[in-house]
Chain A
Amino acid sequence: MSEKIGGEHVPDSTRALDVDGDIDLMVDDLDLWYADKQALFGVSLPIAKNAVTALIGPSGCGKSTLLRTINRMNDLIPICRYEGTITKGDVEITAKDADLVEIRKNIGMVFQRPNPFPKSIYENVGYGVRLHYQPSREELDEIIEKSLKRAAIWSEVADRLHDLGTSLSGGQQQRLCIARTIAIEPDIILMDEPCSALDPIATAAIEELILELKKDFTVVIVTHSMSQAARVSDYTGFMYLGRMVEFSKTDKIFSDPAEELTKRYITGRFG
């Protein structure tokens, strides 16, 4: 089945969704509208545990929208509504009475632009921890140190934990945001183009970090850079005009894509 939109044959969202190992979270047949405009069309996506899943596609294809639906960030936009289900284990995330705080605690998010709180580095990491747990001072210090170390930024900020988080460089800020996210021990980390505002060296540092994080967390990353997707991810979903055109192992997508559209996008012929 396919639909012709703007001179392109756009296939319906794929149902071929095989992953090895455990599935951490399942997006099932998700439709989403901004007011009257539909942004996602029956998207389904399995997210494998302790793996990196990358979402690629041209601008405006719904990658970020999909990502932001996973931890219900889209609820902040009043005109947004959706149908379909997202389940994590036996928890239905899209349920009306779902506990948003619990969801966002378990599914952390790193944004496109580094957005540390205008507080000290210590407070930036400690805030979320204090929100969800009641750590003693020593425990909190320990958690903060551990998180900053895991985010590979400890050596740069160890001697100025009480400086403003916003006084760091862009790459450091983004790693601080990652530290802030992993400090509250989520299961899944969503990353919305985490490197788009960074220079190549900072990007390399973040990519290395992602590969490291994979051991403990499930990572979903939206990226514009296909090479980045190829480097860091285990699974890749290609989206186009709100449809999940193809989902497969990263090796397969980049070497032997099933869809003509995917092939053309990856080889840079459109998008």
Chain B
Amino acid sequence: MKKDIDTLKKRSRRRRDVVEQAGSASLALSGLVGMFFLVVLVWQIAIPTFIDGENGEISAASEFIPISDYVLEWDHPNVNEQGDLKTEPIVLTITWEGQTGAQTHDLEIVVTANRGEKEDVQISEEGLSTTSIEVGKKTKFYLKSVLDVPVSVEQRSGPVPAADASGNPHVSSFVVSGDVAVLISNGSAVFEPLEMAGWTSLLVLTFIVSRPTERRLAPLVRCYGRERQIRGIILLLAIFTIVIGQTTLSAFLGGLCWLLFGVALLRTIEGMERLQNQGRSLTEVKRLKHSISDREGLLLWSRMLLVSACFFIPLDIDIPFLTERYQDIFQPYASGIRSAFFGTVWVMSIAMLVSMPISIGAAIYLEEYAAPTRTTKLIQALVTNLAGVPSIVFGMFGLAIFVKQGGIGLGLGPSILAAGLTMGVMAMPIIVLASQEALRSVPRSLRESAYGVGCTQWQVVKDHVLPSAMPGIMTGSILAMSRIMGEAAPLVVVGAAALVLFDPEPLAALTGGNLNFTVIPIQIYFWTSEPEHAWHSMAAAASIALILLLIAMNSIAIVLRQHFRKRLNS
């Protein structure tokens, strides 16, 4: 009898193991598939943006024409900084591997004040159809080849096409260079030596703290009691890094690295000393990590910084694309998303200011104060359902309530204010639900102990329940915000514009300014519907910008959560 039970037990254990393995295997598989799609997605987004920006003006005329055909475009090639005519001609060297050997021909382009005759240059076995042409303002001509070999075009002298006032090419897209330069970009190092040292120190410390052994920690032991000196040195290094790097972005990041390194180092030493005072081994990874990371999220931060460095610094993020350049209807590569960027920032700010206080208040009322009557149950059901309503419906709501005049409409017009309010209304049910969930998860014992010392209901909520629920509320709110940040549909209905060539005014609806505005998703949408391929690349670049903004938002969520959790834990 006993034996039967043994076999039964064994069999059930085997079945449990099989189920376990099958479950984890399928999880891993679905994870892999997800990762694959993610990689494909990123690839699909990233590839079109790796435009050879420097040569963007001399690019294949079309995907359907042999690569030896080029289109050449100039914006203001003939005007210098003072607005005077430039006399220096543009010289292109055109080479190809002909049947009679390598051929090299120069093409001289003379810039004139007037619009030049539109003339295409033909390339054949005999050479170029002409060696000199005249071009004027906003000239575009084609370089057409009848050869069946690739032709390469190199600019030898003269202003770079579409040059800006400083003579630098004004054709970079969001990601400037086609090459993924890891440490060296265009022949020069991306990082100054000091910045590099900052990155390396942080990397080494992160590694040591993640996997501590006696030997790795030995150098740190020698730092005991020298906290003040360390603090001073690190601060100096950080300042030097920023000053020497001439306050560029990478210099700031380098300085940040030094600061983070300093704080992490001091925390580590402090934690090690505490461990030793308690007579514990230094290599108690969990405790050491706890003393560093859990409190401040330092480890998390250094990892985030390192990862972001790996991904973004080498690509030379083109900040002007984001915050300086407006859309240029003639030149995709000279366009930026400045107005859309500010539009998004304003819409999000208004949405956040409006929806967060109201929603959190509503959640507190529903969860803590409202008696469970039929009315509150109905409201609860409505809120739950609202969270699932398609966003276009909110757009219609916004159109009726905020945009239109008359009836119940506020008559704000197709403005940022109306858009922000619409988005805020859209975020409300999500925030309410997330906040309610967070409030509900506060243990009853905490409320009881607070009531036990004689708190009023408001004191219980304010001093105990809300601080405990705050991390959850913050996370929910920011996630709701990042969701509505990517929404285009409601704003199409509210009336975001396709082309805005000025900074939007957030309160135009009240002050009577220009109402027009646009946001990044809308900009992407309109760019993708342009026929010219280059705009699609710009749309991809704008998508990456949007994703970066989302990452930034989510990092803020993490920081806020850490902050409130820290307040809770200290």
Q: What is the total of A-B residue contacts with beta carbons within 8 Å?
A: 63
Q: A108, A117, A164, A184: which has the most chain B beta carbons within 10 Å?
A: A117
Q: B445, B449, B451, B568: which has the most chain A beta carbons within 10 Å?
A: B449
Question: Is B88 part of the binding interface, using a Cβ–Cβ cutoff of 8 Å?
Answer: no
Given A78-B371, A78-B372, A164-B570, are A118 and B468 neighbors across the interface (CB < 8 Å)?
yes
- B contact residues around A131 at 8 Å (CB): 453-455, 459
Question: Is B125 part of the binding interface, using a Cβ–Cβ cutoff of 8 Å?
Answer: no
Q: Are A184 and B452 touching (Cβ within 8 A)?
A: no
The 4 A-B residue pairs whose C-beta atoms are closest, nearest first, are: A128-B453, A105-B454, A115-B445, A104-B454
Contact residues of A between 103 and 144, Cβ < 8 Å to B: 104-105, 108-109, 111, 113, 115-118, 120, 127-128, 131-132
17 A-B residue pairings within 8 Å (CB atoms): A71-B452, A73-B451, A76-B451, A100-B456, A101-B456, A104-B453, A109-B452, A111-B452, A113-B445, A115-B443, A117-B446, A117-B450, A118-B467, A127-B453, A127-B463, A177-B449, A184-B453
Question: Is A49 part of the binding interface, using a Cβ–Cβ cutoff of 8 Å?
Answer: no
Minimal beta-carbon separation of B475 from chain A (angstroms): 18
Q: Are A118 and B453 touching (Cβ within 8 A)?
A: no
- B contact residues around A181 at 8 Å (CB): 452-453
Question: Is B464 part of the binding interface, using a Cβ–Cβ cutoff of 8 Å?
Answer: yes
The count of residues in chain B whose C-beta lies closer than 8 Å to any C-beta of chain A is 23
Q: Which residue of A lies closest to B371 (CB)?
A: A78
A73 to B444, CA, bound (A): 12
- A contact residues around B372 at 8 Å (CB): 78
Q: Which B residues fall within an 8 A CB radius of A?
A: 371-372, 443, 445-456, 459, 463-464, 467-468, 568-570
Q: Are B449 and A101 touching (Cβ within 8 A)?
A: no
Question: Is A180 part of the binding interface, using a Cβ–Cβ cutoff of 8 Å?
Answer: yes
Q: Which A residues fall within an 8 A CB radius of B?
A: 71, 73, 76, 78, 100-102, 104-105, 108-109, 111, 113, 115-118, 120, 127-128, 131-132, 162, 164, 177, 180-181, 184
A131 to B371, CA, bound (A): 27
Not counting A181-B453, A184-B453, a sample of 13 additional A-B residue pairs whose C-beta atoms are within 8 angstroms of each other reads A71-B452, A73-B448, A76-B447, A101-B454, A101-B455, A115-B448, A118-B467, A120-B570, A131-B454, A162-B570, A164-B570, A177-B449, A180-B449
A71 to B449, CA, bound (A): 12
Minimal beta-carbon separation of A180 from chain B (angstroms): 6
- B contact residues around A117 at 8 Å (CB): 446, 449-450, 464
Q: Are B453 and A108 touching (Cβ within 8 A)?
A: yes
A132 to B456, CA, bound (A): 11
Given A117-B464, A120-B570, A164-B570, are A128 and B448 neighbors across the interface (CB < 8 Å)?
no
- A contact residues around B450 at 8 Å (CB): 117
Q: Which residue of A lies closest to B468 (CB)?
A: A118
Minimal beta-carbon separation of A179 from chain B (angstroms): 11
Q: Which residue of A lies closest to B445 (CB)?
A: A115
Q: Are B449 and A115 touching (Cβ within 8 A)?
A: yes
A177 to B445, CA, bound (A): 12
A115 to B449, CA, bound (A): 6
Q: Which of B448, B454, B468, B568 contacts A76 (CB 8 A)?
A: B448
A101 to B443, CA, bound (A): 21
Q: Which residue of B lies closest to A163 (CB)?
A: B570
Q: Are B453 and A164 touching (Cβ within 8 A)?
A: no
A120 to B568, CA, bound (A): 9
- B contact residues around A184 at 8 Å (CB): 453-454
A161 to B569, CA, bound (A): 14
Q: Are B454 and A111 touching (Cβ within 8 A)?
A: no
Q: Are B453 and A111 touching (Cβ within 8 A)?
A: no
A118 to B448, CA, bound (A): 13
Q: A78, A118, A128: which has the most chain B beta carbons within 10 Å?
A: A118
Q: Which residue of A lies closest to B456 (CB)?
A: A101
Given A78-B371, A117-B464, A164-B570, are A111 and B449 neighbors across the interface (CB < 8 Å)?
yes
A76 to B463, CA, bound (A): 18
- B contact residues around A162 at 8 Å (CB): 570
A77 to B456, CA, bound (A): 16
Minimal beta-carbon separation of A125 from chain B (angstroms): 10
- B contact residues around A132 at 8 Å (CB): 454
- A contact residues around B445 at 8 Å (CB): 111, 113, 115
A47 to B446, CA, bound (A): 28
A250 to B163, CA, bound (A): 99
- A contact residues around B456 at 8 Å (CB): 100-101
Minimal beta-carbon separation of B386 from chain A (angstroms): 26
Q: Are A111 and B448 touching (Cβ within 8 A)?
A: yes
A132 to B454, CA, bound (A): 8
Given A78-B371, A115-B446, are A104 and B570 neighbors across the interface (CB < 8 Å)?
no
- A contact residues around B467 at 8 Å (CB): 118
Minimal beta-carbon separation of A147 from chain B (angstroms): 12
Minimal beta-carbon separation of A175 from chain B (angstroms): 14
A119 to B219, CA, bound (A): 36
Q: Which of B371, B443, B452, B463 contacts A104 (CB 8 A)?
A: B452
A201 to B309, CA, bound (A): 55
A71 to B448, CA, bound (A): 12
Minimal beta-carbon separation of A28 from chain B (angstroms): 24
- B contact residues around A128 at 8 Å (CB): 453-454
Q: Which of B446, B453, B463, B468 contacts A180 (CB 8 A)?
A: B453
Q: Which residue of B lies closest to A167 (CB)?
A: B569
A111 to B464, CA, bound (A): 17
- B contact residues around A102 at 8 Å (CB): 454
